[in-house]
Structure formats: C-alpha cells, structure tokens
C-alpha cells in the first residue's frame, strides 16, 4: 500500500494516500515513513515527553509503547523500553519484543549491531547473542567486513539528563583502528577522530567503501587507507569526503 507521512500542524501528523486523502488521521506528534509494513509514530504527554509505537497501514498499533525506536530493518526494529533504566530491546514486525542485556543498540549492518553495556561497546546479532564482547570505548558499523573501534584506553564519562537519558563524553583526542568479525584488531588505532557524543562512531567516512576509508592522521589532515591500513591517498587534505563513483570532494588549505 502507498501512504506517506504528512503534517498539517505542529504535532499533527498522519498518513495520506496518493490522492491526498488521509487514510490514517493526523493525530501524532511525529511520524516516520513505513518500513517492512510498519511506521513509527510518537505521542506527547505534558511533563513526560513523548513515547513511540509502531502502527500498520490501517493505523493499528503493533507491539507496546517505547521510549525510543529505530525504523524496521530486516524484519525487526531496535527499541528502548519504557523504564527508568531505558532497557534496550528488539521488536519483530509482528510485535514480539526481545529484551537485550544492553544500555543502547546501534543500527544493524552486515549481520551485527553495536551495543553499549556499562559504558563499553561491543557487537551482537539481532537475537541478542554477543558476538564481540563489550570492551571498546567506541564502535562503528561493520562495512566490507571491518568496523572502526576506539580502544578502552580512552574511557567515556557517563551522565544523565532529567529524563534519565544517558550521555557519554570524552574531550580528549581519540584514535580509531579496525577490527574484523572475530573482534581481532587488524588495523592499529592510529587514526585521529573527533570525540563523539556517544560511544557509537557515526561518521560514515570512517567506514570502508570500495576498499577505502577516509581518515585523519595524527596531525589532523585527511587521507584514505586501504584494508591493510596503508595510506593509499596521503593525508594532505583539510577536508576529504567519502568516494562515490570513483571521486571524492577534497579541500586544501588556502
């Protein structure tokens, strides 16, 4: 079925069909597009903030209410359960929820997703089975068989806001290396990366694409390495974007 999320006023989102007719009334605070037959929608309660749930094409709720959700991917969604501890979990497209022994979960890619427990990050599969133990200060997503990691000699500080949401900080310079799917460090952590607001490394440039990853040397200049960790493009650029169609936008100093 073809329906699209639209908003007619602040806090009034619903779904229309291709004729412009509302097929799901505009009653949601926020609404996302459909994925795998379900869409994430939120409602707002004064003094409590907003909560999320999933609906089908008829507007029927599938599964319980959550603190936060990510869109469905490969038949399941990463969710944060309604609790003071913000317990992480996954929900199938049929509404079945599996509680995961982790604080937070990252997006699922190449069969694995990053997770955080006790301030450290590792990887698990979508069933919640730990594949790579939580022993890193930060992890990125697997791409072409490798994932960027920050070693635990650069620990995170953990704090919470008034909604009990966790935040992670580290004002020091960080250095990233790469692990394979067994968790072995195959490229040493010698590439500089900006300190992130969470232990998840969300900079897509630092992931491999067509055999290259765009990274920074210790002096802050950008270049690109191959899967052996060798500089294929020397770090001489002030800025360097990811390669697409064989080319990458680059900036040099004035």
Strands (E) in 141-244, as ranges, are 147-150, 157-160, 166-169, 174-179, 185-193, 213-216, 222-225, 231-237, 239-240
- How far apart are alpha carbons 220 and 170 in whole angstroms? 18
User: What residues form DSSP beta bridges with 12?
Assistant: 9
Q: What distance in Å separates the CA atoms of residue 211 and residue 162, rounded to the nearest whole number?
A: 43
- Three-state DSSP at 205 gives helix
Q: Quick count: other Cβ atoms within 10 Å of Cβ 162?
A: 6
Judge contact between 249 and 242, C-beta under 8 A. no
Q: Which of 144, 109, 142, 114 is nearest to 130 (CA)?
A: 114
What is residue 119's predicted lDDT score, i.e. its pLDDT?
Answer: 83
Per-residue pLDDT, 202: 76
The C-alpha atoms of residue 62 and residue 56 are separated, in whole angstroms, by 7
Residues 168, 199: contact at Cβ < 8 Å? yes
Q: What's the confidence (pLDDT) of residue 73?
A: 86
Extract long-range pairs of 207-214: CB within 8 Å, 24+ residues apart.
Answer: 207/140, 207/141, 207/143, 207/144, 207/147, 207/148, 208/143, 208/144, 208/145, 208/146, 209/143, 209/144, 209/242, 209/243, 210/243, 211/144, 212/243, 213/148, 213/178, 214/240, 214/241, 214/242, 214/243, 214/248
3-state secondary structure of 204: helix
Distance CA 175, CA 177 (A): 7
| Ranges of each domain in the chain | 1-99, 126-254
Nearest CA to 91 out of 80, 82, 104, 102 is that of: 80
Distance CA(24)–CA(33), nearest Å, equals: 12
pLDDT by 10s per residue, the chain, length 254:
566 665 556 668 999 999 999 999 999 999 999 999 999 999 987 766 789 999 999 999 999 999 999 999 888 999 988 876 668 899 999 999 998 888 888 888 899 999 998 888 999 998 889 999 999 988 999 999 999 999 887 555 555 443 444 444 555 668 899 999 999 999 999 998 865 545 888 777 889 999 999 999 999 999 999 999 999 999 999 999 998 888 999 999 87
Which pLDDT does position 164 carry in this prediction? 45
What pTM value is reported for the model? 0.76
The reported pLDDT for the residue numbered 20 is: 93
C-beta separation of 81 from 89 below 8 A: yes
At 84 the pLDDT is 61
Identify the pLDDT of residue 197: 44
């Amino acid at each position: 079925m073809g329906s699209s999320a639209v908003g007619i006023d602040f806090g009034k989102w619903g779904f229309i069909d291709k004729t412009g007719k509302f097929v799901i009334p505009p009653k949601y605070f926020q609404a996302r597009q459909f994925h795998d037959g379900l869409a994430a929608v939120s409602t707002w309660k004064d003094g409590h903030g907003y909560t999320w749930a999933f609906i089908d094409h008829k507007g029927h709720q599938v599964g319980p209410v959550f603190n936060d959700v990510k869109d469905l991917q490969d038949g399941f969604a990463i969710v944060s359960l309604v609790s003071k501890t913000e317990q992480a979990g996954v929900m199938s497209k049929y509404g079945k929820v599996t509680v995961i022994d982790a604080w937070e979960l990252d997006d699922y890619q190449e069969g694995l997703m990053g997770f955080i427990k006790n301030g450290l990050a590792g990887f698990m599969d979508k069933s919640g089975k730990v594949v790579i133990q939580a022993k890193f200060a930060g992890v990125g997503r697997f791409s072409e068989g490798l994932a960027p990691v920050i070693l635990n000699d650069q620990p995170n500080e953990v704090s919470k806001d008034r909604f009990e949401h966790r935040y992670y900080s580290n004002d020091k310079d960080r250095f990233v290396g790469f692990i394979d799917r067994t968790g072995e460090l195959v490229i040493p952590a010698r590439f500089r990366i900006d300190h992130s607001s969470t232990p998840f490394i969300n900079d897509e440039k630092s992931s491999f694409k067509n055999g290259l990853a765009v990274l920074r040397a210790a002096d802050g200049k950008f270049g690109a390495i191959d899967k052996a960790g060798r500089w294929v493009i020397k770090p001489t650029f002030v800025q360097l974007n990811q390669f697409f169609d064989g080319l990458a936008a680059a900036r040099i100093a004035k």
